[in-house]
Amino acid sequence: MEIRVLGPLVAQLEHRSVVPSAAKPRQVLALLALHPGRVVTVSTLLDELWGDAPPRTAPATLQTYIRQLRRMLADALDPAGVRGPKDVLCTRYGGYALDVTSAVDATEFQRLCVAGQTALREGRDLDASQLLHRALGLWRGPALADVQIGRALEVETLRLEETRLCALDGRIEADLRLGRHAALLGELTALAAQHPLHETVHAQLMLALYRCGRPSHALSAYHRLRRSLIRELALEPSPRLQRLHQAILEADPSLEPPYPVGHGGRPARADWLVTASA
């Protein structure tokens, strides 16, 4: 069974879709898919579906949704196979579990993110860039873009989005360390426009602009961020970002791009990068 949640919900078994068309059964499938191999309690499912105002019939209705999902699984499974629908969507003490641990894109995304961030911390910048690029490539749009979102799914989608942003920060940091500043300019300019209060993105944009011989544009990026922070949050930029601003004003040699890969060993680390993990 293949399940993809990093975009519109996709669930296929034996090349047949097992995504229900009705909104609430889709929610049930999505929440189970985000906890592969783990029990999702009945109370969590009821809260996701109805919040603080469940109808009196909510537990029975949930059981109906589970039966609907199992019927779809039964239609897709090989009748001669050893696994039946109750082996895939299992009843467990207190709730239900979807036995598809290795087939969910969010699971692979998390694995690649951990490996990529580890490589970044260890200075294996090329490995980090490749791993995090693969992780980000699994996304096809906002997580569960076509699923009605309740409280439990909201927590999960926010967590996934935050992990995606951390992976993006890490991949850009690795690419800057690898001397790819020119190739990053378009992406960083768009990200800065989308996230006008995000200091990491603006620090990366400032560094890329400076290394491309555009210090005045780097300073302009800093002042745009500063105005936004003061207007929206009544805050000044962080001390680290202020130091980067001062270094650009002074044309600090430490801002120069690192040596390219293959020229004198591993690229130099860029201490000016302000990552989410810093």
Q: Tell me whether residue 20 is in a domain.
A: yes
Query: pLDDT for 96-144, tens place per residue?
Result: 999 886 689 999 999 999 999 999 999 999 999 999 999 999 999 999 9
Residue 31 lies in a domain: yes
Strand segments, DSSP code E, in 122-173 are none
Q: Residues 197-253: pLDDT tens digits?
A: 999 999 999 999 999 999 999 999 999 999 999 999 999 999 999 999 999 999 999
Residue 191 lies in a domain: yes
Query: What is the spatial distance between Cα 191 and Cα 194, in angstroms, rounded to a whole number?
Result: 5
pLDDT band (50, 70, 90) for residue 81 = low
Taking the chain, what is the end-to-end CA distance rounded to the nearest angstrom? 38
In the chain, how many domains are there?
2
Sequence-distant (6+) residues with CB within 8 A of 194 are none
Single-letter amino acid, residue 224: R
Do the domain assignments include residue 167? no
Residue 10 has pLDDT above 70, yes or no: yes
Residues 81-89 have a mean pLDDT of 81
Kindly state whether residues 7 and 97 are assigned to the same domain: yes
How far is residue 12's CA from residue 3's CA, in Å, rounded to a whole number? 6
CATH code of the domain covering residue 81: 1.10.10.10
Looking only at the bridges linking them, the beta strands covering 10-13 and 2-4 are antiparallel
**Among 70, 103, 136, residue at a domain's last position:** 103
> What is the three-class DSSP state of 165?
helix
Given 56, 79, 103, the domain boundary residue is: 103
The CB-based long-range contact list for 15-19 (8 Å cut-off, 24+ gap) reads 16/75, 16/76, 18/69, 18/72, 18/73, 18/76
Domain-located, residue 92: yes
**Confidence at residue 271, expressed as pLDDT on a 0 to 100 scale:** 53
Q: Say if CB 204 and CB 176 are below 8 A apart.
A: yes
Which of 103, 125, 147 lies at the terminal end of a domain, its last residue?
A: 103
Convert the pLDDT of each residue in 154-211 to its tens digit: 999 999 999 999 999 999 999 999 999 999 999 999 999 999 999 999 999 999 999 9
Q: Is the pLDDT of residue 263 over 60?
A: no
Three-state secondary structure of 97-154: EECCHHHEHHHHHHHHHHHHHHHHHCCCHHHHHHHHHHHHHCCCCCCCCCCCCCHHHH
Residue 48 lies in a domain: yes
Place of tokens 């962080």: 238
Tell me the C-alpha distance between 147 and 31, whole Å. Answer: 10
Which domain range does residue 97 map to? 2-103
CATH of the domain at 196: 1.25.40.10
Q: Is the pLDDT of residue 268 over 50?
A: no
pTM of the model: 0.86
Report yes or no on 108 lying in a domain: no
Is 227 part of any domain? yes
